[in-house]
A and B are shown apart, each in its own frame.
Chain A
Amino acid sequence: MDTKRLITCLMEDIRKKTASELNLMEVCGTHTRAFFQSGIREMLPPSIRLLSGPGCPVCVTDEACIDAAIALLKEKDIHLATFGDMLRVRGTHESLSDQFGKRGNVSIAYSPLDCLALSKKLSGRQLVFLAVGFETTAPSIALAVKLAKENGIGNLSFLMALKRMPPVLHHILAAKRNRLHGIICPGHVAAVMGARYFSFIAQEYAIPAVICGFEAMDMACGIYMLTRQCNGQERSSLRNLYKTCVGDEGNATANKLLQEVFEVDEASWRGIGRIKDSAYVLSSRYKDFDALNRFCIRLSNPLPKSGCSCGDVIIGNILPYECRMFEVVCRPQNPLGPCMVSSEGSCAIYFNNGRVPMK
């Protein structure tokens, strides 16, 4: 049977057997986008509501971090490198692209390891890498830090904004406000950390969870497995359907690096607030490479902006369409909140790939 027919059969089965409304959260922005682009969203019965989760690194990076990067650019004459998506996210007042446009002292890096070569080219001028992401980008950032130390690169440091996934999921699941019935776990995080990293979802909260890939068939199977558990056809558990990439224990080399270079601390999540143990920060051995330490910059405590509901969107309380700013004021060219910035941000995905449902 070809993929198209198989998916049609799965969808038919889901439609027949799902009587009640189900709220399923796809944690990762790449899944949100793939659901739209594959057309699966349109094929699901209306009783299944897909909610975006906090899995877009741009969306969860708080204003204080952007403000600190801008302060470094303005006050310390450094060169800043970061991932492309980050350039357009606003801090309290402006974004890095505003600075980029003015002075050309911001570079887009696709890999943090590029900074090792870039730091040499800058011949002594200080380079700061704005390190955002989750367990996915963390290993390559850890490697860049380690290599910087080993090679005695004195003009490279890291503005740390790395986040960990389990604490924010605990935060969402414990709140129960969004009445989640199932979780599609972030596949790339699972590839690094292992399937067991997410076993707490079913064990502690009795909510079904799947790990699946990003092809249409992977995602259709993921939803099918979740609905079977939700409908009582199977007991709630964590199902790993992405075994080609995800083992039980994850990538041993990457995990060793994470343990060596980072330690866990509290983090501030944009629109959500502070969550214990949800940050990767540099361990004492590597503190010299922390840009905040090196340049004596302190993170501010920006007041949350009124009007934007990004915080509610990324924990599944509302759909992007339900934010009163969506499309009316907040658009990709004029993003109020970070969810409208990145191509993996839930609001931008809904804006670019969907239409506001008729009321």
Chain B
Amino acid sequence: MEELIRLYHGDGGKHTALLIRELFYKYFGNEMLLQGLDAGVFHTAEGRLAFTTDSFVIKPLFFPGGDIGKLAVYGTTNDLAVSGAKPLYVSAGFIIEEGFKLDELERIVRSMRVACQETGACIITGDTKVVEKGAVDGIFINTSGIGIVDCAYCHKEVKPGDHIIVTGSIAEHGAAIALERYKIPVKGPFSSDCGSVYNIITQLKPYYSGIKLMKDPTRGGLATALNEISEREGMESNICEHAIPIRREVEGICRLLGLDPLYLACEGRVILVVDPDISSAVLQRIKSCENGMGACIIGSFTGRREEVVYLQTNIGGKRILNPLEGPMLPRIC
């Protein structure tokens, strides 16, 4: 491993995984952690609990469709939800730069409360630190969350033929952030999908036995999340370009900026791997939710023991979706 920590060690891609495997697992490794899931799940006398944590260091702090506070609550409660857990309690740690505006902090905290109300979780502990100017960029927030896992749900082995479902149109958070970050003066309905997915997952209780796994495609987007699943399961997956839900405006802006929507973050979507016998029923149930109306079956696992994700393109060609290495920056021309 290289001697210095670089920004790319934190981008959620290949190098983050390498750092986790080679350093954190080396010293912290235990059965629960080594499963590498969105939340650690452990047994208690009363049942299973899921525990997760996430830190939010985003720029800009406020964006169309949300802000760092909303993201901090949903980021953690969604990780619990995709682990099959009902989010119960959340902690909130704030590291604030001296000189940060109090009314902006209140806006952030207010939206954290709204997000908690929606998921039914409560913030029951917290911490506040203020650091000198320049030590952080505005505000960093860490949230941890604990939830109780539904007794009918567990993570299961993926089998050949299992279907892949995504619960709504992709890349909306990533596109909204890119427009803000690069100050692109384009007007249009660009808004982050930042929101809770817990309401969708509770609807799927009758089908838990046929749901193999769930994952929220946040950093690195759909393509990165599918690569992680393929790698974990040691199996090839195959998705169809024409089946992937994406809004035309988002597709258009990605073309303009030279960004690939398959690698842009979603903050209110879930990828589900589902037994093909129940996938239509699961899809219908997801579609009955307001934030699941755009859900689609986008592909399946093929059974080939190769850790690769293929995309069947609209014109009948084939493309490999490799895990992305390096950040995507807007192109020049």
A interface residues (Cβ-Cβ under 8 A, vs B): 3-4, 7-8, 30, 36-43, 57-58, 83-88, 101, 108, 110, 114, 132-134, 136-137, 188, 216-217, 220, 331-333, 342-344, 348, 351-355
C-alpha spacing A132/B332, complex, angstroms: 8
Is the Cβ of B258 less than 8 Å from the Cβ of A343? Answer: yes
Chain A's nearest CB lies how many Å from the CB of B100? Answer: 17
Q: Which of B64-72, B206-214, B316-324 is the interface stretch?
A: B316-324
Residue of A nearest to B318 (CB): A42
With A101-B7, A110-B183, A333-B325 known to touch, is A38 a contact of B313 (CB < 8 Å)? Answer: yes
Contacts of A344 in B (CB 8 A): 258, 331-332
Residue of B nearest to A44 (CB): B317
Contacts of B1 in A (CB 8 A): none
Is the Cβ of B314 less than 8 Å from the Cβ of A4? Answer: yes
Among B184, B257, B326, the residue within 8 A (CB) of A348 is B326
Residue of B nearest to A345 (CB): B331
Of residues 303 through 329 on chain B, the ones whose CB sits less than 8 Å from some CB of chain A are 311-320, 322, 324-326, 328-329
Q: Mark B50-73, 1 if CB is under 8 A from A, else 0.
A: 000000000000000000000000
Residue of B nearest to A57 (CB): B332
Q: Mark B167-207, 1 if CB is under 8 A from A, else 0.
A: 00000000000000011100000000000000000000000
B interface residues (Cβ-Cβ under 8 A, vs A): 6-8, 14-15, 182-184, 257-260, 311-320, 322, 324-326, 328-333
Is the Cβ of B326 less than 8 Å from the Cβ of A333? Answer: yes
Contacts of B184 in A (CB 8 A): 110
Is the Cβ of A85 less than 8 Å from the Cβ of B183? Answer: no
Contacts of B182 in A (CB 8 A): 84, 108, 110
C-alpha spacing A331/B8, complex, angstroms: 13
Chain B's nearest CB lies how many Å from the CB of A188? Answer: 6
Among B314, B319, B329, the residue within 8 A (CB) of A343 is B329
Contacts of B260 in A (CB 8 A): 37, 343
Chain B's nearest CB lies how many Å from the CB of A303? Answer: 25
Is the Cβ of A342 less than 8 Å from the Cβ of B331? Answer: yes
Contacts of A4 in B (CB 8 A): 314-316
Contacts of A38 in B (CB 8 A): 313-315, 317, 319
Contacts of A132 in B (CB 8 A): 332
Chain B's nearest CB lies how many Å from the CB of A215? Answer: 9
Is the Cβ of B319 less than 8 Å from the Cβ of A353? Answer: yes
**8 extra interface residue pairs, beta carbon distance < 8 Å, beyond A30-B258, A333-B8:** A7-B315, A39-B313, A42-B317, A110-B183, A110-B184, A342-B332, A343-B260, A352-B324
With A4-B315, A353-B320 known to touch, is A108 a contact of B332 (CB < 8 Å)? Answer: no
Is the Cβ of A41 less than 8 Å from the Cβ of B317? Answer: yes
Among B7, B15, B319, the residue within 8 A (CB) of A37 is B319
Is the Cβ of A133 less than 8 Å from the Cβ of B316? Answer: no
With A333-B15, A351-B325, A352-B322 known to touch, is A85 a contact of B331 (CB < 8 Å)? Answer: yes
Contacts of B6 in A (CB 8 A): 333
Is the Cβ of B315 less than 8 Å from the Cβ of A87? Answer: no
Residue of A nearest to B308 (CB): A355
C-alpha spacing A108/B332, complex, angstroms: 11
Residue of A nearest to B6 (CB): A333
| 7 sampled A-B residue pairs with Cβ under 8 A | A3-B315, A42-B317, A83-B330, A84-B182, A136-B332, A343-B328, A343-B331
Chain B's nearest CB lies how many Å from the CB of A182? Answer: 20
With A84-B182, A333-B8, A343-B258 known to touch, is A57 a contact of B316 (CB < 8 Å)? Answer: no
Is the Cβ of B332 less than 8 Å from the Cβ of A39? Answer: no
Chain B's nearest CB lies how many Å from the CB of A141? Answer: 11
Chain B's nearest CB lies how many Å from the CB of A38? Answer: 6
Is the Cβ of B333 less than 8 Å from the Cβ of A134? Answer: yes
With A57-B332, A344-B332 known to touch, is A37 a contact of B324 (CB < 8 Å)? Answer: no
Is the Cβ of A43 less than 8 Å from the Cβ of B316? Answer: yes
Chain B's nearest CB lies how many Å from the CB of A81? Answer: 12
C-alpha spacing A42/B320, complex, angstroms: 10
Residue of A nearest to B317 (CB): A39
C-alpha spacing A41/B320, complex, angstroms: 12
Is the Cβ of B330 less than 8 Å from the Cβ of A110? Answer: yes
Contacts of A84 in B (CB 8 A): 182, 329-332
C-alpha spacing A40/B319, complex, angstroms: 9
Chain A's nearest CB lies how many Å from the CB of B152? Answer: 40
Chain A's nearest CB lies how many Å from the CB of B179? Answer: 10
Chain B's nearest CB lies how many Å from the CB of A127? Answer: 15
With A37-B319, A110-B182, A355-B320 known to touch, is A216 a contact of B314 (CB < 8 Å)? Answer: yes
The 4 A-B residue pairs with the shortest CB-CB distance in the complex, in nearest-first order: A39-B317, A332-B326, A39-B313, A84-B329
Contacts of B259 in A (CB 8 A): 343
Is the Cβ of B329 less than 8 Å from the Cβ of A85? Answer: yes
Contacts of A88 in B (CB 8 A): 326, 329
Is the Cβ of B332 less than 8 Å from the Cβ of A332? Answer: no
Contacts of A188 in B (CB 8 A): 333
Contacts of B333 in A (CB 8 A): 30, 57, 133-134, 136-137, 188
Contacts of A42 in B (CB 8 A): 317-319
Residue of A nearest to B182 (CB): A110
C-alpha spacing A354/B311, complex, angstroms: 12
